[in-house]
Amino acid sequence: MESSSYRYGKIRPISLVKFLEYTSQRGVSINNIAHTTIKSYIVTNACEHGLRGYNLLTGKAWRLKLPNWITASYHIHLLEFIASLIGIWLETIDDEKTNYT
């Protein structure tokens, strides 16, 4: 006989363990966890001359010229990462100003 505390859609502890075992073996699609829609397409790049980015939907572009000692001192992967952060940051600021929904 089932306890009254497990009625009305509550999961029994043993059922939760079986569910976790099943999903760990089968895997869970990321599409079932989070639904996202794309609002902007940002392309960023880094090279020995500087950092740059472009928004494909709005046509806005930015460029940051770097001194030679920075490009010689830091790895290109770090510069690419910084360029992507700047692109996302500028898009967030633009999104707050225009109030896209």
- Note whether 48 and 71 are within 8 A (CB): yes
- Note whether 55 and 91 are within 8 A (CB): yes
Residue 91 pLDDT exceeds 70: yes
Residue 14 pLDDT exceeds 80: no
Contacts 24+ apart (CB under 8 A), 91-100: 91/40, 91/42, 91/55, 94/55, 94/58, 94/60, 95/39, 95/40, 100/39
Q: What is the pTM of this model?
A: 0.60
Residue 17 pLDDT exceeds 60: yes
Instruction: Give the whole-number percent of the chain exceeding pLDDT 70.
Output: 66
Query: In terms of pLDDT, which residue wins out, 57 or 38?
Result: 57
In the chain, where are the structural domains located? 42-98
The 3-class SS string of 15-49 reads HHHHHHHHHHHHCCCHHHCCCCCCCCCEEEEEECC
